[in-house]
Amino acid sequence: MKKVNVASLLRMKTDKQKITALTAYDASFAQLFDDLGIDVLLIGDSLGMVLHGANDTLAVTIDDIAYHTKSVRTGAKRSFVIADMPFMSYASPKQAYNNAAKLMRAGASMVKVEGGEWLLETISGLVERSVPVCGHLGLTPQSVHVLGGFKVQGREQSQADAMLTAALALEEAGVQLLVLECVPSSLAKLISDALSIPVIGIGAGCDTDGQILVMHDMLGISANYMPKFSKNYLAETGDIQASVKQYIDEVQTKKFPGPEHSFD
């Protein structure tokens, strides 16, 4: 299979072929997911919760992400590799440039940042400096204390309008991929249809251009809890490889996420 890149992800959106994504943190799982055909691997700051056992992602450092990115890149030959920019690692454009360089040197093909219009200058600067960027709107875990917890975002019309405006602005600034987390399905569809770039959902319904799950949630082994938007595929299949294959099939056929994994 050909190596996945920004252009092929865009073609998948155009062709209405669902993009499959999972988090990964080491070479072994990265190779397994890669071999089975997962399109995108994310080294998420979720590692703070699923690997370190923390209650949020805030203690994760740029060095943590770089370490795991290098490991994932070793195992991933085909999949597109995205690395999270962790909490306060991109508070200013200059800081973002330096930290993004660390992640790209570690093997990332793209970096991901959380937030809306306050990031436009930073995103434009990164893209100008040859760093591809993925945006992240909706529930942004790095803002958990501002949001008052892990809550669905965009249910109020004013919030929905602001999120759509932010998504369009991020695309204009140069992001080539967008993650929407924990937003109503109807809003996620509206944003996905409005953007020319691929939109990957997590807790955002089945009408985004693709889906991503935290691998520990998908395998039912998270140390904290199982989110409503996830599904324990290992419990259904009893085998890791079969779990990933079923996840891929259900995303591509729009069986996952179902209404029980989505928000109104």
- Give mean pLDDT, residues 197-206: 97
How far apart CA 24 and CA 36 sit, in angstroms, is: 14
For residue 146, pLDDT over 90 is answered with no
First to last CA, the chain: 37
**Contact indicator for 28, 18 with CB cutoff of 8 Å:** no
Tell whether 114 is in a known binding site.
Answer: yes
**Residue 145 scores a pLDDT above 90:** no
Please, which pLDDT band fits residue 226 given cuts at 50, 70 and 90?
confident
Q: Say which amino acid occupies 53.
A: G
Q: Is 209 annotated as a binding residue?
A: no
Residue-level pLDDT at 224: 64
Active site annotation includes 156: no
Kindly indicate whether the domain formed by 6-261 is annotated with CATH number 3.40.50.720: no
- What is the rounded distance in angstroms from the CA atom of residue 254 to the CA atom of residue 248? 10
- Which three-class secondary structure state does DSSP give residue 83? strand
- Given the residues 117, 128, 172, 181, the one annotated as active site: 181
* Distance (Å, whole) CA 171 – CA 220: 34
Query: What pLDDT was estimated at residue 148?
Result: 77
Domain boundaries, the chain: 6-261
Residue 158 counted as an annotated binding residue: no
pLDDT of residue 227: 86
Residue with tokens 């409005």: 194
- List pLDDT tens digits, range 56-80: 999 999 999 999 999 999 999 999 9
Q: What is the reported pLDDT for 223? A: 67
pTM comes to 0.96
Identify the H or E element spanning 16.
Answer: none
Arithmetic mean of pLDDT over the chain:
96
Three-state secondary structure call for residue 110? strand
